[in-house]
Structure formats: C-alpha cells, structure tokens
C-alpha cells in the first residue's frame, strides 16, 4: 500500500527542476517526467539508491512524502472534489495494475506484501475498535456489505472460484444469506477477511 503512494508522490509532486512545462513539452516529455523515454525519473533513481544505501533515511523521507501527499489530497478534496475523486481512482488503478504485474512476475513477493498489508489492516482495526467503537461498528457493517457484493459478483463471473471460496468458507451461505447487503451487520469482529 505504501509503495503506490511513494510512486504517486514521485510522479505527482516532483517535477524536473530547471525546465518549464513548455520546454518539457517541446523536448518531448510530460511535465514531471523525463524527456527521454526508457530512462527512470531522476528522483526515482535517487530514492532507489537511497533505499539501498541507507534504509532508515529512505523510510524517513518516504514518511515525509506520504505526509505531504496526504496534505495535498486533503486540500484537493476541499477545493476540487471532482479532481480528488479522479486522482483517487487513478492511484487505485495504478496500484491494482502494479499488484497484478507483481503477482505474475514475482508471486512470492506478492504474497509477502499481501500478508504485510493484512497485518497492518488488522492492527488498524484493533486500534479503531479500542479508540472509536462506534466508527468501528459502522466500518464493519460497510465491510460486511462489501463482502456480500464481492461474493455475489464472484458467483456470477467466476463460478469455479466461488466453489473454491465456499469450500474454504463453509459457513458463508448460512451467515450471509439473501438480503445481507441491504441489512448489513458487523461480522467477524476480529477483522479477518472471509
């Protein structure tokens, strides 16, 4: 989850110093991107080297960039909600594409990242449950409805996967019968995914 933010930050916030947008356009590049195709962005290259040389400094810088991006997105949400939604969709799409590519090219790394993501998500849910139980219940109700829609979609589009899912989750149909999405109730308070 953090990596898509990092690359979005690199692409979105940092431009090539010294060139105006018009000069970049004439040089054949897009604003914020190198003019030469096939070459990594200078900032991305610098961050890659920093990650190899000093992981602690890299983490610190990434946290600063994440904070800047969060502030920028919050400001954008207030000033231009349409653009905010558009950027949010683009970022989610890029993340999905990256994960699909990673799943094909490096399944072990993909599994590792997904396990880390589930662990962090679980921690956030536990913190939310302790600090704000009302919001936690609301979130769990939304999550239950989302799961129901997700499984219904899987049932229609991929029946074989749905059968495997039912084998892995034998109580699903009993717990989530018809109408579960219309009247969601918090399910699995531990925060586990079905």
Residue range 64-91, pLDDT digits in tens: 998 999 999 999 999 999 999 999 999 9
Q: Which of 16-20, 89-93, 183-187 has the highest mean pLDDT?
A: 89-93
- pTM as predicted: 0.51
Same domain, 77 and 110: no
Residue range 109-155, pLDDT digits in tens: 999 999 999 999 999 999 999 999 999 999 888 888 888 888 888 88
Residue range 162-176, pLDDT digits in tens: 888 888 888 887 777
Structure-model confidence comparison of residues 21 and 7, the more confident one: 7
Contacts of 72 (CB under 8 A, 6+ apart): 12, 13
Residue 73 lies in a domain: yes
The closest alpha carbon to 45, from 23, 14, 91, 22, belongs to: 14
Same domain, 134 and 171: yes
Contacts of 49-55 with CB under 8 Å at 24 or more apart are: none
The count of domains in the chain is 2
* Structural domain range at position 65: 1-14+39-81
Same domain, 112 and 52: no
Residue 97 lies in a domain: no
What is the pLDDT at residue 174? 78
Residue 93 lies in a domain: no
Residue 19 lies in a domain: no
CA–CA gap between residue 38 and residue 174 (Å, rounded): 53
């Amino acid at each position: 989850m953090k990596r898509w933010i990092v690359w979005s930050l690199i692409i979105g916030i940092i431009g090539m110093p010294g060139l105006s947008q018009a000069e970049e356009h004439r040089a054949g590049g897009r604003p914020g991107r190198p003019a030469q195709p096939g070459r990594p962005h200078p900032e991305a290259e610098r961050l890659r080297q920093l990650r190899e040389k000093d992981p602690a400094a890299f983490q610190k810088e990434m946290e600063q960039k994440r904070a800047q991006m969060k502030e920028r997105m919050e400001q954008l949400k207030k000033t231009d909600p349409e653009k905010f939604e558009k950027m949010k969709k683009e970022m989610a799409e890029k993340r999905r594409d990256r994960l699909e590519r990673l799943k094909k090219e490096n399944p072990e790394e993909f599994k590792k990242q997904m396990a880390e993501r589930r662990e962090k998500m679980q921690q956030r849910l536990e913190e939310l449950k302790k600090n704000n139980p009302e919001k936690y219940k609301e979130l769990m109700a939304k999550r239950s409805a989302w799961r129901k829609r997700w499984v219904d979609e899987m049932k229609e589009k991929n029946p074989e996967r749905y059968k495997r899912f039912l084998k892995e989750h034998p109580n699903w149909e009993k717990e989530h019968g018809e109408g579960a999405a219309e009247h969601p109730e918090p399910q699995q308070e531990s925060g586990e995914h079905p």
